[in-house]
Structure 1
Amino acid sequence: MPETDAKKIGRVTRERFDEIVAELRAEVREDHRIQFVVGDRALEVEPMRRRGGSMPNGDDDLFTVSESLHLLSEETGILYSTIERHRWTAFEFVTSKVEPAPTGPSMVVAAEAQLVTEAGECPGEVLVFTQGGYLSWLEVCSWSDDIEVTLAAARHWLQTRS
């Protein structure tokens, strides 16, 4: 790693480089916030329906869920898949069950959950790490030689507990 007190980094001064870093950090913070705004607004336009609820029901619904979200996508310039994903995340996100992530300059385990199968076995755990106050990565750990522990399996086991 080059020394960080150099007068120039790439084609910009150290001062300009620090301004760029501060600007990008602010944009990243805003980007994380905007994901929830998009999801919340998409849920407002089209609340989640029961399975098979994609068709309009009666005279009240003029559009299917897909049509409404496609129109929202076209009008905002946000990809349909992004709107759909953020809508689902907003639906699944229960703020009362979430605590703020621990902050600090080093890597921190922000959350952990043991995985429990339908049979009551505990084949592993999920760890969520933060660094510098930002979510950093998710780790799925396996303690079992007999039960395959994957991200999909972990999600299933965690959802069946709630």
Structure 2
Amino acid sequence: MKEFYKKLIETFTKEETKDLYRTKGIDCPKFIDLYAGQDLDPESFDMYPCPAIFVSWTIDHRQKPAQANVTFRMCYEQMRDTSSIGKNTAEALKFIDFIEITDGILETFETEHTGKLNAATEELNLEPIVVDQFVLTYNCSYTKKAREKLTGSIEDLKIKSGLYKSVFD
């Protein structure tokens, strides 16, 4: 998953990716990190610029091929009123454009050990936290690096006898 994470950062720091956001007048992700509860315990973490993406995953090796569930928490600082009587609802709802662009990028994402990300769930999280979050969860196949297969036969083993006797003498 190290390769996955490094490619994720590389993808979102490319100029052509940033241009997808800029053409809609939206800030591109400014911060990507592994999710460690930054939203739940902000006193324990440095301030991070928004928009930010936090990623976490679980891998189920009981399935063949193994399945990875990857969760992206997108933090978008919401400083405007999204209500029906808000003065600039269109501007306030730009975070939805941010989500759509990010989702489009993630749906094309894959690495050597992960298949394409398939959308599983999405959730708007407006809990009393520092910033609003939109949570996207994807599933994909996962393969570990190929392990070297060891072969041999029992005839190749050399057996020493008398070990116990030499220890107790």
Q: TM-score range by the shorter chain?
A: under 0.3
Work out which of the two has the higher radius of gyration on C-alpha atoms and give 1 or 2: 2
Q: Between Structure 1 and Structure 2, which shows a larger proportion of strand residues?
A: 2
Higher relative contact order structure (alpha carbons within 8 Å, sequence separation ≥ 6): 2
With normalisation by structure 2, the TM-score equals: 0.24
With normalisation by structure 1, the TM-score equals: 0.25
Q: Between Structure 1 and Structure 2, which shows a larger proportion of helix residues?
A: 1
